[in-house]
Amino acid sequence: MRKIWSIGLIRALIFQILGSAIGAGLLGLIRLAMGLSWKTEPALVVGGFIGAIFFMIGIGGFSGWWKMAMGEDVPEAHDVTEPEGIRRYFGFSLDHKVIGIQYGILSMVLLSVGGSLALIFRTELASSGLQILDFVQFNTLVGLHGMVLIASILMGVAAMGNYVVPLMIGAEDMAFPRLNAFSFWIAVPATVLLLSAMLFGGFETGWTAYPPLSVRGPMGIQLFFAGVYIVGWSSILGALNLIVTTLKMRVKGMKLFVMPIFAWAVLATSIISLTATQLIGLSFQLVMFERLLGMGFFTPSNGGNPILFQHLFWFYSHPAVYIFVLPGLGIISELLPVFVRKPLFGYKWVAMSSMGIALTGYLVWGHHMFTSGIEEYLRVPFMYSTLLVAVPTGVKFFSWVATLWQGKLRFPVPMLFILGAIIVFLIGGLTGPPSGTVSTDLHLHDTYYIVGHFHATMFGGFIFPIFAAIYYWYPKITGRKMNDTLGKIHFYLMTPAFLVTSFGQMQIGMLGMRRRIADYDPTLGFDTSHLIITIAGYLIGVSVLIFFINLIISAKRGEVATGNVWQSRSPEWSILPSPSPVHNYKGMPFEVVGEPYDYGLEGSNYVLPVNQTGQAD
């Protein structure tokens, strides 16, 4: 019993359940004292938030800050001794590498949950008529599929940022280790809240939670809001940490424009998630309060305006897709030169294109609202700003193609996924302008075409790159390589299966299949297409299952790989042994002496250990 109690995660989950009960009970008592009767919905909200706070108390997330507030001395993060072995990963660890892996595990768990939800409603869609789900269940699954995978992607982005960025820039840890651990662990109770929306009636709105439907529907939406709100804070605090780390903790000699390109991508991403995330939190908070207190934000009969919600919501949720894809595109630019053995073409332009996408991303949200009744005069400006995003994205594509040109290509598994990512993201990118142009969007809006487009960008911009990243950095984490054969099966199964789903969705979308509906008219003739899409969807599921098996067995039985496996110039490979030691570069100081991507240039170095500088010149 004691042994179980000492595992942070379990202790914290028990705390969360207790906290939720206490919060709900207290609210009930207060209402009773005020002469009001029991109401489940406010109790759910209050219980949800108090439960999350209790979770953090249980995991120990507040103990350091509490001591600081009480005026006690708190040791610096690198002086805290932490338990050895696997238990570390289930508790409040301050090491950025542990936190990175924790993020990664949570991301993969959410990926499989979100993917499984999709398989359930894909099964429903495989033929017309209702087979296994009713309408509310279908809507709940679709909404949760969206939001759970958004959470998964945010966690995956944070995983890469946390694990890799401090190693790349030669920092001993993140700028704020306690905040870093806090922002990971707060995402766990948030996930629990998000998923528990299913238990409390579900919700009907899809992941966008548009009022007035979200103001009226079942109360599962409140837990959905609470979960997203807290995940949002996790993302904001994580982004804050990454920005400060990249700006202030770089090793000697590493100017901004000789940072590894992935650090640029993470910086750009973090700027968006730091600021824009507040707006989705706010929009959901307003609906939450509208439901609880009857505030008239979004109900026209009470002075409100539902379009306001869409403005606030999309101000985050459009830039959010750049949060999702920018790190993935950064991974592509980072790994491509390693496997092509050529300098990255136009480093500065690629770095600036990440910033360019981030900044133009703020100006384009209105293209989600062309058909929802926004002011007519806003449509064309938003169309132009939307198409403008293609320019910095095009810069990246030109850079990749020019990098590939006449390179000495190698094709290990990470490179396969990189190439897959480029192709799939190209498909996703090219299908974008028709949806961003007002005249065509009026026809394509809310059809499966948009679903196909969106999934292509997400797979090309996140799923493929993160698999590449995991295959690539796995030896750095475990000291072993992942199995090559299984990796290739994973790739060659997932890529065609994905292309089939994506093209299939676009095809039926153009023919008029509406999105977010559980049933369709059999006379439309979509049954076969839907069946094929569903089968392909299951194949993606199988391929990811193979990946998980590979992930687990390679940790014990994989080929030992301790050195610079991929012959990379980046410091985490060329200086650091694998698996990476606890205190990063302690005892191995280095400095930056050259350009990051001058592969194939005789005698050039990016980083050198400090005591050897001078000899190498």
Partner 1 sequence: MSSITSSAQYQKKLAINRLGLWLFFASDAFMFGGLLVARFYLLGNRRLELEQTLGLIVTVVLLVSSFFMNRAEVMISKGNQKGFQRSIIVTIVLGILFLAGVVGVEWQTAHFQVNEGAQGAVFYMMTGMHAFHVLTGIIFLLIVYRNGLKGKYTAEKHYAVEASANYWHFIDLVWIIYYPALYLMGLI
Q: Find where tokens 């870093």 sit.
A: 180
Report the run of H or E that residue 398 belongs to, with start and end.
Answer: helix 390-404
Task: Say how far apart CA 147 and CA 583 lie, in whole Å.
Answer: 35
**β-sheet bridge partners, residue 560:** 480
Q: Smallest distance, Å, CB 44 to partner 1?
A: 20
Residue 147 binds partner 1 (CB under 8 A) = no
Number of residues interacting with partner 1: please give it, by CB under 8 A.
Answer: 42
Contact residue for partner 1 among 241, 353, 431, 495 (CB under 8 A)? 241
Structural tokens at position 81:
């001794």
Interface residues for partner 1 in 153-182 (CB under 8 A)? 175-176, 179
Stretch that binds partner 1, among 74-82, 111-119, 432-440, 595-603 (CB under 8 A): 74-82
Contact residue for partner 1 among 73, 375, 376, 617 (CB under 8 A)? 73
Q: Smallest distance, Å, CB 304 to partner 1?
A: 6
Residue 315 binds partner 1 (CB under 8 A) = yes
Residue 62 binds partner 1 (CB under 8 A) = no
User: CA separation (Å) from 477 to 337, 467, 473?
Assistant: 22, 14, 7
Contact residue for partner 1 among 7, 109, 244, 539 (CB under 8 A)? 244
Report the run of H or E that residue 530 belongs to, with start and end.
Answer: helix 527-557
Q: Smallest distance, Å, CB 46 to partner 1?
A: 15
Residue 243 binds partner 1 (CB under 8 A) = yes
The amino acid that residue 336 corresponds to is: L
- Kindly tell me the burial class for residue 486, based on how many C-beta atoms sit within 10 Å of its own C-beta (0-12, 13-18, 19 or more): middle
Residue 302 binds partner 1 (CB under 8 A) = yes
Q: Smallest distance, Å, CB 237 to partner 1?
A: 9
Instruction: Specify the residue, 79 or 602, whose C-beta has the smaller distance to partner 1.
Output: 79
Q: Smallest distance, Å, CB 315 to partner 1?
A: 8
Stretch that binds partner 1, among 112-120, 247-255, 425-433, 542-550 (CB under 8 A): 247-255
Task: Say how far apart CA 593 and CA 615 lie, in whole Å.
Answer: 12
Task: Say how far apart CA 154 and CA 323 lie, in whole Å.
Answer: 8
Residue 355 binds partner 1 (CB under 8 A) = no
For residues 238 and 227, is the Cβ–Cβ distance under 8 A? no
Q: Is the peptide bond before 319 cis (omega within 30 degrees of 0)?
A: no
Structural tokens at position 560:
């030992």
Alpha-helix residue ranges (DSSP H) falling in 389-526: 390-404, 413-430, 432-436, 438-444, 448-458, 464-478, 484-510
Instruction: Specify the residue, 277 or 501, whose C-beta has the smaller distance to partner 1.
Output: 277
Q: Smallest distance, Å, CB 378 to partner 1?
A: 13
The sign of the CA dihedral 219, 225, 231, 237 is negative
Stretch that binds partner 1, among 83-91, 258-266, 269-277, 513-521 (CB under 8 A): 269-277
For residues 386 and 351, is the Cβ–Cβ distance under 8 A? no
Q: Smallest distance, Å, CB 101 to partner 1?
A: 24
Contact residue for partner 1 among 123, 128, 137, 278 (CB under 8 A)? 278
Residue 63 binds partner 1 (CB under 8 A) = no
Residue 295 binds partner 1 (CB under 8 A) = yes
Phi/psi-derived region of residue 496, left when phi > 0, alpha when psi is between -120 and 50, beta in every other case: alpha
Residue 601 binds partner 1 (CB under 8 A) = no
Among 393, 413, 411, CA closest to 401? 393
Residue 249 binds partner 1 (CB under 8 A) = yes
Instruction: Specify the residue, 233 or 526, whose C-beta has the smaller distance to partner 1.
Output: 233
Parallel/antiparallel/unpaired status of strands 607-609 and 590-592: antiparallel
Residue 274 binds partner 1 (CB under 8 A) = yes
Residue 10 binds partner 1 (CB under 8 A) = no
- DSSP notation for 220-273: HHHHHHHHHHHHHHHHHHHHHHHHHHHHH-PPTT--GGGS-HHHHHHHHHHHHH
Stretch that binds partner 1, among 278-286, 498-506, 527-535, 541-549 (CB under 8 A): 278-286
Q: Binding residues for partner 1, per CB under 8 A?
A: 69, 71, 73, 75-76, 79, 175-176, 179, 236, 240-241, 243-244, 247-249, 274-279, 281-283, 286, 289-290, 293-297, 302-305, 308, 311-312, 315
